[in-house]
Amino acid sequence: MGAVPSTPRWSSAVRPQDTAEYLIGAFVGEKSFPLASDYWKKLLELPLNLHWPAPRVLQACEVLAQNNYYTRHLAKILIHLAWCLQECLSSSGVPPSSYLKAINATYISSVFLKYYIENAKTDNFEELCLSLDKNEAVPSNFSRDQNIQNLVMHGVLSFIGKVDVSQHASLLHHELLNFMLVAMSTQLLSGPSPGPKDIHPFIDAAMVQESSLVGLVVRKLLANYITQPRFALNAASYDIFSEGNQPGVLQRVGSAAASFVLLPFSYFVNSSGKASRSPLAYSSLHVLLILIHYRKCVLATVKDRSDDSATSDLLLKENTYFSENPFCKALENARDIEFDRVDIEGNAHSGPIVRVPFASLFDTLGMYLADETAVLLLYSLVHGNSDFLEYVLVRTDLDTLLMPMLETLYNASKRTSNQIYMVLIILLILSQDSSFNASIHKLILPSVPWYQERLLHQTSLGSLMVIILIRTVKYNLSKLRLMPMLETLYNASKRTSNQIYMVLIILLILSQDSSFNASIHKLILPSVPWYQERLLHQTSLGSLMVIILIRTVKYNLSKLRDVYLHTNCLAILANMAPHVHRLSAYASQRLISLFDMLSRKYTKLAELKNDKMLIGNGESRGDNLPEDMSTELHIYTDFLRIVLEILNVILTYALPRNPEVVYATMHRQEVFLPFKNHPRFNELLENIFNVLDFFNSRMDAQSMDGEWSVEKVLQVIIINCRSWRGEGMKDVYLHTNCLAILANMAPHVHRLSAYASQRLISLFDMLSRKYTKLAELKNDKMHIGNGESRGDNLPEDMSTELHIYTDFLRIVLEILNGILTYALPRNPEVVYATMHRQEVFLPFKNHPRFNELLENIFNVLDFFNSRMDAQSMDGEWSVEKVLQVIIINCRSWRGEGMKMFPQLHFTYEQESHPEEFFIPYVWQLVISRRIFSFNPSSINLFPAGLPAEDSYGGEEVDDNNQSGEMNGHAVQIALSEVQ
């Protein structure tokens, strides 16, 4: 940075820019300015509006890091920050200059503190030097033994908690919240499991503040989130920002070393349509979530008398425990400002009580539940605060909270796994209350605009909840372990043939379900890190599956040459074909490339057979070779036919939604020509050439200036796809949570809709089919070819999965039992759906694991079937007539012969170490908002090799476990069945 004068020199000839340049240089330089030096006043009062390039800002941080051990300037600026905040708190008429000094102190502290934390070389952050030299002269109002981090955190929290957010104070509020994020970011350098050796100077200082101050801070942070304050910046009040539109020196510092610091400023200046979300409100929420989920691990040494010692000596024993979090306790003890429980029950709570307007908080959460941080706050409230949970349960407009959460589940493929888990846990907690389960069936929704599968008109909130939960189960079944299985196929050369077979068989089973085939094309993957051949960006899971299966076929042709492996891969592709949706360009190219490769091998085999393998002087080499060639030729003929059938199905049933397949077919149409008149392929090629003729003619009809580009050709295809008429031509915890919520709801179901009833029986049907196939696979012990067993451990794996599906089926049967036993007269549509699909229960009637649960169902079926038989009917039965008979006989139903099972009731229990999930999760959310940047290589709290997911503002995001997201097992849900 060059030489810095030993003392600031002031004169009328010195421009403000030069003075600012000098003062910042002096701050990072070698000369130490005493705490009481006039230098600090000049630094904090001067309008800072110079422009430094990013490298120079970084150099300034590095120079301070070299000199701070001697100058202690970081500690001194923090002390001055605390003093500035005390000045702002001292009186009601605070001059603008006091706020300006505090803002400058906050900026400088944030920028350089963040650099220190991000580049920390010690676990205890000794390089921060948060103390003054013993020879340092200090003012009389400052004690040398004063804990600086405690001093500054007390000042910051006092200002946040005690000063209202106003026009003059709003910017300082925001920058103090950003300072809090920087100061608490030491957590990012620790591992996910807090240990007794972890040191976090600033957040630990926050945890030891008096309870009254903690309560004020929690109240203010919640109030900021509720009120969503927005203030326009008065540039005249803050000269630091008033030099035209150019960023000042600290703004340049912010952009290079702490880019989040000035983002709130840009929000204030550039108000746009996105300003419906208050930056101050979301900074408040982020800080609150970090504070309430922090856990301090403490090492305690206790005296323990040895039982097997004859002496009276005491042994020292070390134990660890987590100290109490006062912010978490304050949130848990928060009370409604409009209702005082002490007046009713007389049970006063020790310490100050945080008063919050529950009604406003409820409404605000309902508005912003599309945002993941809002979901986490709601979880923290309903799980920890019994008063707020009780308040939610007595609200009559439960749709305010439930509708955005159900929409989140509906769009599960665009949400993170953590967000889905949080929503399901919230619903599970709510469904533990019988009044909740009763009230949701009384609330009728005129329509559900975001539900696309069919029109839901005048549907109860309870019915919608059943539909969405069942849909979530089916979605998760399609997504379960799919990426690891595809990665196994991708690395086939490093896997055993048994592993490959097992994966392919599982995929073949899954691909037999149409909902699986549809859902995999709706799930978009931001990236596929393990795929090395090319960058796969924003690729659907279905497209990736096509790519990997084709790659497996090609690998098998060159290495394994196993006919069964080919057959399985192509069978899976054939099952997927009718449901292909927006297949990617690369997947489409690989599909045509597969046909090309197989066709070339077929052609060579045909030529070899025709020549009868005559080599040299007319001598035949291998008498049985032509017969071998015939066999292999026959195999390749079948392979080619399957690939052509796959293409036929896509082009026949899914052409309008797959322009890339059309493009790839047109681009390589010459590969089909040699087979146009082949007796084994011509019938399958008719449709393909029909498609080619249609789109070729549309291309010929286009008047084109210049050459055709890929983009132009694809545009013509997309346009004509719309006019194409075809003339001539689918995590165990998630399952358990969903089913647990349904089980809690079952006895209270009231007038379940026809569609919801159908989906419930459909869920049993889907699970039963999967169960049956798994049972068959287990019984056959996977004998593949010549009686050879492939995969010694496969039966054991099948047994595990079979056990899981057995439990799922039992829960669904218990849900049905709960409805038919306790709520049958109110649910004729459930009776109708059960009668309409009664055949799905028959295979399990005598099954030892299900027969007791099916007794009641068949009892109901016998009762209503007999009433139907007793009816004299002219003409055929219609849906309306059958339903009318059911409704009439529901009134006379008395439940004779019904076996009374204990009601299923599931409760949520947080696991023993929730901090291992919530601390990384909260910080991941903070970083994903991009108001806080941090060097990924410095983060140890969670995997940060790839950009974190961005769901800020409730935007749809893609679920990608590679992007720093916590693994599902980190938030294990303890579900206890209460009988």
Residue 334 has pLDDT above 90, yes or no: yes
Q: Could you tell me the pLDDT band of residue 365, with boundaries at 50, 70 and 90?
A: very high
- E strand map for 292-336: 297-305, 314-322, 335-336
User: Quick one: pLDDT at residue 385?
Assistant: 93
Token pair listed for 397: 């407009």
The most confident of 192-206, 266-280, 346-360, 940-954, by mean pLDDT: 192-206
Token pair listed for 424: 């399901």
Q: Could you tell me the pLDDT band of residue 978, with boundaries at 50, 70 and 90?
A: very low
Token pair listed for 51: 């422009």
Question: What average pLDDT does this structure show over 941-963?
Answer: 40
The most confident of 45-54, 178-187, 494-503, by mean pLDDT: 178-187
Residue 508 has pLDDT above 60, yes or no: yes
Q: Which of 47-61, 209-223, 782-796, 802-816 has the lowest mean pLDDT?
A: 782-796
706: left (phi over 0), alpha (psi -120 to 50) or beta: left
Domain of 882, in residue numbers:
748-782+794-892
Q: Answer whether 803's CB lies under 8 Å from 875's CB.
A: no
Enumerate the β-bridge partners of residue 321: 298
Run of H or E including 527? strand 524-527
Instruction: Convert the pLDDT of each residue in 64-94 to its tens digit.
Output: 989 988 999 999 999 999 999 998 887 667 7
Instruction: Convert the pLDDT of each residue in 837-856 to its tens digit.
Output: 999 999 998 888 888 889 98
Distance CA 905, CA 433 (A): 10
Does residue 761 lie in a domain region?
A: yes
Q: Beta 355-356 vs 335-336: how paired, if at all? A: parallel
Cα dihedral 266, 269, 273, 275, rounded to 10, equals 70
Q: Which of 42-56, 254-268, 434-448, 758-772 has the lowest mean pLDDT?
A: 254-268
User: Quick one: pLDDT at residue 291?
Assistant: 96
Q: Which of 829, 809, 810, 808 is nearest to 819 (CA)?
A: 829
User: Quick one: pLDDT at residue 389?
Assistant: 93
Question: What average pLDDT does this structure show over 213-229?
Answer: 95
Cβ neighbours of 185 (radius 10 Å): 25
Distance CA 515, CA 760 (A): 15
User: Quick one: pLDDT at residue 92?
Assistant: 66
Does residue 271 lie in a domain region?
A: no
Residue 310 has pLDDT above 50, yes or no: no
Q: Could you tell me the pLDDT band of residue 735, with boundaries at 50, 70 and 90?
A: low
Q: Give the HSE-up count for residue 335: Cα atoms under 13 Å, Cβ half-sphere.
A: 15
Instruction: Convert the pLDDT of each residue in 719-728 to its tens digit.
Output: 887 767 666 6
Q: Could you tell me the pLDDT band of residue 871, with boundaries at 50, 70 and 90?
A: confident
More confident residue, 678 or 883: 883
The most confident of 373-377, 590-594, 653-657, 700-704, by mean pLDDT: 373-377
Does residue 200 lie in a domain region?
A: no
Residue 622 has pLDDT above 90, yes or no: no
Q: How many domains does the chain have?
A: 1
User: Quick one: pLDDT at residue 543?
Assistant: 87
Residue matched to tokens 């059960």: 834
Q: Could you tell me the pLDDT band of residue 125, with boundaries at 50, 70 and 90?
A: confident
Does residue 259 lie in a domain region?
A: no
Mean pLDDT of the chain: 77
Q: Which of 447, 424, 514, 526 is nearest to 474 (CA)?
A: 514
Q: Could you tell me the pLDDT band of residue 627, with boundaries at 50, 70 and 90?
A: low
Does residue 820 lie in a domain region?
A: yes
User: Quick one: pLDDT at residue 304?
Assistant: 56
Q: Could you tell me the pLDDT band of residue 481, with boundaries at 50, 70 and 90?
A: low
Q: Which of 923, 964, 953 is nearest to 290 (CA)?
A: 923
- What percent of the chain stands above pLDDT 70? 77
Residue 238 has pLDDT above 50, yes or no: no
Residue 335 has pLDDT above 70, yes or no: yes
Residue 796 has pLDDT above 60, yes or no: no
Does residue 648 lie in a domain region?
A: no
707: left (phi over 0), alpha (psi -120 to 50) or beta: beta
Instruction: Convert the pLDDT of each residue in 462-476 to its tens digit.
Output: 889 888 888 787 666
Does residue 845 lie in a domain region?
A: yes
